[in-house]
């Protein structure tokens, strides 16, 4: 059997729609499934513009994606011989010769069925749920903020600093499987919960216009346990692994230090959850560069020097390297969300 005949039989035997376009976006070939689904006749469509198969908007979308991304995956509105539209999910890619020159495009499509619509609706509702959870966490964090009116845009800066660090860490081989897009969104939503335990600290200590005594500082340190315990109780009510899990880790451990000298439990190194290691640097940078009743802000360069000096003692080395790599972005966030 000749190779060309074998190829045609293969094209016509599949239950997927296959369309081949030339460089001018005209139909060069089309298989039997596509003809059956559209009611078109092969000899009448070959050599004709692709708009005889799809509507103009769909073709423009296809051309745009191919030109920008060298591939297309998505829905096209296919028009039958009777003018009836039908959604077909296509995967298109260029056909290149031995000299890497594009000779045309091949697309494989399947009709969009009801389950596709259910999947899209499920994704939409999951996204709404994530947004609701994020709003709930910000609402909880605002409880602590109302106790300390001088924090200003602290929460917005914190969530953006934390997301920035997580995004950059995700490019490192040791983290790229762990730090997913979901994790980055979770730390963005959860980092504002770091100081929620301050709602349990007396005003005389929380709002004191000066440095705390050693005894007062011991009481202040307890805010990490107050916040962690509250979020742990809520997390357990939701089954122990919920949208509050990361917030619980952060609230408990964002004052732990890499060398084990932090609080509340003196965790050391990688025993400190990654989320808390990230938020620790974000929180210190923001505290250093912000005005408080008991201190003036320091410059970015001064904060940078302190953070470098604390690498390997207070902060994980890799988190410090990420900060240095993206310090211009830290400055931009600082400017965009200034008090």
How far from the centroid of its chain's Cα atoms is residue 56's Cα? 33
The rounded distance, in Å, linking the Cα atoms of 155 and 158 is 5
Burial of 108-141, coded b for 16+ CB within 10 Å and e otherwise, reads: ebeebeeeeeeeeeeeeeeeeeeeebbeebbebb
What is the pTM (predicted TM-score) of this model?
A: 0.63
What integer is the mean pLDDT of 209-215?
Answer: 88
pLDDT at 1: 43
Burial of 19-34, coded b for 16+ CB within 10 Å and e otherwise, reads: bbbeeebbbbbbbbbb
What integer is the mean pLDDT of 315-331?
Answer: 97
What integer is the mean pLDDT of 29-54?
Answer: 93
List of domains in the chain: 3-112 (3.30.450.20), 126-336 (1.10.3210.10)
Secondary structure element (H or E) that encloses residue 92, with its range:
strand 85-96
pLDDT 10s digits, 142-151 = 766 666 655 5
What integer is the mean pLDDT of 283-312?
Answer: 92
pLDDT 10s digits, 215-260 = 999 999 999 999 999 889 888 887 777 778 899 999 999 999 999 9
């Amino acid at each position: 059997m000749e190779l060309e005949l074998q190829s045609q039989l293969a094209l016509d035997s599949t239950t997927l729609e296959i369309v081949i376009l030339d460089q001018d976006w005209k139909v060069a070939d089309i298989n039997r499934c596509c003809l059956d689904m559209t009611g078109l006749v092969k000899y009448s469509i070959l050599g004709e513009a692709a708009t005889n198969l799809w509507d103009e908007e769909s073709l423009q979308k296809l051309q745009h994606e191919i030109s920008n991304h060298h591939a297309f995956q998505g829905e096209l509105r296919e028009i039958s011989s009777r003018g009836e539209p039908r959604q077909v999910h296509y995967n298109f890619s260029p056909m290149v010769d031995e000299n890497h020159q594009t000779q045309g495009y091949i697309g494989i499509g399947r009709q969009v069925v009801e389950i596709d619509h259910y999947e899209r609706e499920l994704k939409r509702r999951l996204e709404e749920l994530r947004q609701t959870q994020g709003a709930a966490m910000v609402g909880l964090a605002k409880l602590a903020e109302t106790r300390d009116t001088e924090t200003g845009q602290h929460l917005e800066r914190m969530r953006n600093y934390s997301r920035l660090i997580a995004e950059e860490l995700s490019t490192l081989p040791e983290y790229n499987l762990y730090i997913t897009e979901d994790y980055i969104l979770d730390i963005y939503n959860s980092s504002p919960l770091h100081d929620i335990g301050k709602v349990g600290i007396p005003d005389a200590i929380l709002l004191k216009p000066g440095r705390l005594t050693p005894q007062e500082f011991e009481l202040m340190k307890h805010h990490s346990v107050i916040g962690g315990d509250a979020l742990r109780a809520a997390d357990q009510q939701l089954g122990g692994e919920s949208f509050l899990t990361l917030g619980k880790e952060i609230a408990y451990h964002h004052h732990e230090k890499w060398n084990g000298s932090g609080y509340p439990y003196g965790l050391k190194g990688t025993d400190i959850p990654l989320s808390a290691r990230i938020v620790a640097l974000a929180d210190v940078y923001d505290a250093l560069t912000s005005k408080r009743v008991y201190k003036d802000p320091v410059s970015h360069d001064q904060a940078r020097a302190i953070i470098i000096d604390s690498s390997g003692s207070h902060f994980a080395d890799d988190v410090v390297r990420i900060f240095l790599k993206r310090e211009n972005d830290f400055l931009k966030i600082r400017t965009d969300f200034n008090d």
